Amino acid sequence: MNKLRAFAIYLAFILCCASSASAQMTRLNVGYSAVSADQLPAWVAKDSGIFTKNGLEVQLIFFTGGTTAILALVSGDVPITQVSGPGLVSSSLAGSDSVFVASGITSLNYVLMGRQGVKTTEQLKGGTLAISRFGSATDSIARFALRNVGLTPGKDVTLVQVGSGPERLNALVAGKVTAAVINPPSSFIAEKRGLAVLADVAKMGLVFQHTGAATTRKYIREHQDTVRRYVKSHVEAVHKMWTDKEATIRALSKSMPGVEREFLDKSYENVMSETLFSKKQYPSLEGLKTVLDEIAERDPRAKSAKPEQFTDSSFIRELDQSGYIDSLYKKK
């Protein structure tokens, strides 16, 4: 009887601890702005239980394109989002206090692909090029690529808003657009269907602050510990991506249902380099300078802006200087 009573007391203690731990969880809506491997840190942190381990109960919310994601951040619909450099910089220049707190992906793995029968960039003249939204990363990427091949955006080629990567791929396959800006796995699927790569942006040598973790300075002031735990989760997710391919593929497949394993594997291999997903995850000042240079062509406010205006690297620096990030990669 004494043993039974002792067990009951122990069970009550365990339940009490579990209840207390649950009560301490911070609920957090987090946005993401595309359906591609660029979004892996949040997907992996959610699927692998990293957010939960760090006391965050995260609900991931999809917004089509960086423009929509940054509007949700500024309006307070989500306090943290994964968004690309052009959207965040344009928003900040317009008066928001949004900043990157972790770099995410800092180069471009996009290609311009033509519909059936379109094999050269010369055939783009007079045609249409699909992007997600105006002001998004795909908008900037399209303009970079077109200028690089000697075409003028808006004059030689019309940019059209189509939506997410899979939606742009569908428009391309159906022949509704002349070409599209897409990245893995959509680009791999298109290649398998016989469509041609017209321009490979990755080979143009651009350093670009692409999709990173962003919040606002106001939210940092009011919820510093939540942001600290989020950035820690983000860094741990990137470590998971580097060291556990199967866990990463699992997260990718859940967020991109129906995509064949072949394309998931290729998408993983495509993004896992220090050039794209760095281990330290400092927001890229050089990449933000690239973004500013491009935006300055249509917004004069970008000409006097400094890359540092758009970042808060204090949380990454704290993790780095403490030795925590290095310690992750020393574990066996």
Task: List, for residues 184-214, the tens digit of each pLDDT value.
Answer: 889 999 999 999 999 988 787 778 899 999 9
Among residues 26, 29, 25, the alpha carbon closest in space to that of 215 is found at 29
Residue 118 is predicted with a pLDDT of 95
Q: Which residue has the higher pLDDT, 182 or 19?
A: 182
- Tell me the pLDDT tens digit for each residue of 246-305: 999 999 999 999 999 999 999 999 999 888 999 999 999 999 999 999 899 889 999 999
In this predicted structure, the answer to whether residue 20 has a pLDDT above a threshold of 60 is: no
Is there a contact between 168 and 132 (Cβ–Cβ < 8 Å)? yes
Using only C-alpha atoms, the chain has a radius of gyration, in whole angstroms, of 21
- The confidence band for 70, taking pLDDT boundaries of 50, 70 and 90, is very high
Mean model confidence pLDDT for the chain: 90
User: How many whole angstroms from its chain centre is CA 146?
Assistant: 23
Give the number of C-alpha atoms closer than 13 A to the C-alpha of residue 66, restricted to the C-beta side: 28
User: How many whole angstroms from its chain centre is CA 254?
Assistant: 16
Strand partners, 99: 215
Give the range among 75-84, 122-131, 323-332 with minimum mean pLDDT.
323-332
Residue pointed to by tokens 């122990």: 10
In this predicted structure, the answer to whether residue 135 has a pLDDT above a threshold of 90 is: no
Is there a contact between 85 and 288 (Cβ–Cβ < 8 Å)? yes
Residue 13 is predicted with a pLDDT of 38
* Sheet arrangement for strand 56-62: 56-62, 26-32, 80-83, 212-216, 98-102
Instruction: Name the pTM for this structure.
Output: 0.82
Among residues 123, 176, 132, 128, the alpha carbon closest in space to that of 153 is found at 128
- The confidence band for 15, taking pLDDT boundaries of 50, 70 and 90, is very low
Among residues 237, 262, 303, 253, the alpha carbon closest in space to that of 102 is found at 237
Is there a contact between 179 and 130 (Cβ–Cβ < 8 Å)? yes
Q: Which helix (H) or strand (E) holds 198?
A: strand 197-200
Angle at 138 between CA 133 and CA 141, to 5 degrees: 140
- Indicate the burial class of 175 (C-beta count within 10 angstroms; 0-12, 13-18, 19 or more): exposed
For residue 110 the two structure tokens come to 């996009």
